[in-house]
């Protein structure tokens, strides 16, 4: 980093504030935690805040929230995002993502930062509202497929108005950048491409059969069955119904479902749900990867899914719908299998083949591919450079 960027006594400016929508373990939240930890490891000042507690937590009279990492009792909303008990925990700012009290807390927290990284669509709106007039720039970190969330004119108008307030926007692929620039007439150079990534050390492979059995025991899962993991929000676009249809066609397989959402109660009544284990939101998905024989992704829309990267780093092959840029992570026939979306029969056939062949070989290939293309260390330099550029271009930067 250039010398003029390290102007405080500790030599760790620009100071970064990561903002996540809530304290669950979703893809955007996991990446923010990993990047926060890596920046801290490199000596850069970095803090982590969530707009709201995990949706499963109901705040009390004091607007208490909790961090889904399960690191203690509910925390009171706070503007001091640097006051965290661990590098993976997030201080909860308020009772709801766009509540006035939450936005006031965000505005206060941003005073201690030089650049805010807004991870996820709700954080885009929050930063645009709370940081207006403060002089603190923010970067919007877009992780989904823009054609999905810009499908209606209202979404395009709203998203464009908000994104024009960001100092920069990041996305995962060149195609996504082209879509964003076209849809929102963003100026040249505003949208940067930085690949999705994860810290390999956070997702270690199972160390043999005993480690796999121990992981299953800790999660309350059966020891000696073929076990497939499904991780995500139980919402319409993620298509857990397809995963259960697949399970219906593979009677020797069990499904471990990590996540929650509006369709959980309905899908729990699916005929195949008796062989599905609904684990709810996990504090950390790594034990489930160690427990699983394969990962199943059934979404109708994705960007570059973090769950696929995490599973690959853990040495777990994946069967996934060929949507978004999933094929950048899953190499059909080499690290898993790709199937057209919406086809439970094809998904069941592909999953059956993956489970029947050399799973260890597919998993090893998946890990090697992920380490080469999606390991966090390879992209942190790009994040530090972008943060430095945004900060030096801001009116409040020290010179």
What are the tokens at 95?
């009772």
**Taking a C-beta distance cutoff of 8 angstroms, is the pair 12, 20 a contact?**
no
The helix (run of H) or strand (run of E) holding residue 22 is: strand 16-22
pTM of the model: 0.79
Residue 72 in this model has a pLDDT that exceeds 70: no
Query: Mean pLDDT throughout 354-367?
Result: 95
The confidence band for 8, taking pLDDT boundaries of 50, 70 and 90, is: very low
Contacts of 151 (CB under 8 A, 6+ apart): none
pLDDT at position 71 is 33
Alpha helices in the chain (DSSP H): 27-41, 100-109, 121-130, 146-149, 153-163, 174-184, 208-219, 240-249, 264-267, 286-291, 306-313, 344-356, 359-373, 377-393
d(CA 25, CA 66): 12
The helix (run of H) or strand (run of E) holding residue 16 is: strand 16-22
Query: Mean pLDDT throughout 378-383?
Result: 90
Residue 60 in this model has a pLDDT that exceeds 70: no
Residue 245 in this model has a pLDDT that exceeds 60: yes
pLDDT at position 55 is 72
What is the tens place of the pLDDT at every residue in 161-184? 899 999 999 999 998 899 889 888
**Taking Cα atoms as reference points, which of 304, 247, 295, 292 lies closest to residue 273?**
247
Q: Give the pairing of strands 46-52 and 16-22.
A: parallel
Residue 75 in this model has a pLDDT that exceeds 70: no
Query: Mean pLDDT throughout 219-245?
Result: 96
Considering the chain, what is the average pLDDT of its residues? 87
Residue 61 in this model has a pLDDT that exceeds 60: no
b vs e for 260-272, b when ≥16 Cβ sit within 10 Å of the residue's Cβ? bbebbeebeebeb
């Amino acid at each position: 980093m250039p010398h003029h960027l390290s102007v405080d006594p500790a030599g760790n400016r620009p100071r970064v504030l990561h903002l996540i929508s809530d304290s669950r373990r979703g893809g955007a939240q996991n990446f923010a935690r990993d990047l926060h930890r890596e920046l801290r490891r490199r000596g850069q000042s970095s803090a982590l805040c969530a707009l709201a507690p995990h949706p499963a937590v109901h705040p009390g009279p004091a607007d208490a929230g909790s961090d889904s990492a399960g690191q203690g009792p509910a925390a009171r909303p706070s503007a001091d995002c640097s006051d965290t008990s661990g590098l993976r925990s997030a201080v909860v700012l308020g009772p709801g993502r766009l509540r006035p009290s939450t936005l006031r807390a965000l505005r206060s927290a941003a005073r201690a930062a030089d650049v805010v990284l807004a991870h996820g669509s709700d954080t885009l709106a929050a930063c645009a509202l709370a940081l207006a007039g403060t002089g603190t720039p923010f970067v919007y970190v877009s992780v989904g497929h823009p054609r999905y969330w810009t499908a209606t004119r209202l979404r395009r108008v709203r998203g464009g108005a908000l994104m024009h307030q960001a100092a920069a926007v990041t996305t995962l692929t060149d195609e996504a950048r082209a879509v964003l620039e076209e849809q929102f007439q963003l100026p040249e150079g505003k949208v940067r491409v930085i690949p999705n990534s994860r810290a390999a050390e956070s997702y270690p492979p199972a160390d043999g059969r005993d480690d796999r059995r121990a992981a299953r025991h800790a999660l309350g899962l059966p020891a000696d069955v073929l076990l497939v993991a499904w991780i995500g929000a139980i919402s319409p676009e993620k298509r857990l119904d397809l995963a259960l249809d697949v399970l219906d066609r593979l009677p020797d397989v069990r499904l471990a479902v990590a996540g929650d959402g509006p369709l959980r109660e309905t899908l729990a009544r699916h005929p195949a749900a008796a062989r599905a284990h609904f684990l709810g939101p996990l504090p950390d998905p790594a034990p489930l990867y160690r427990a699983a024989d394969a990962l199943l992704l059934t979404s109708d829309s994705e960007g570059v899914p973090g769950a696929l990267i995490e599973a690959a780093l853990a040495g777990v092959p994946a069967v996934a719908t060929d949507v978004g840029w999933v094929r950048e992570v899953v190499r059909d026939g080499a690290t898993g299998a790709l199937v057209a979306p919406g086809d439970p029969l094809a998904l069941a056939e592909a999953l059956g083949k993956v489970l029947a062949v050399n799973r260890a070989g597919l998993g090893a290939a998946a890990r090697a591919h992920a380490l080469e293309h999606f390991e966090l260390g390879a992209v942190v330099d790009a994040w530090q450079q972008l943060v430095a550029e945004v900060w030096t271009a801001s009116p409040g930067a020290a010179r």
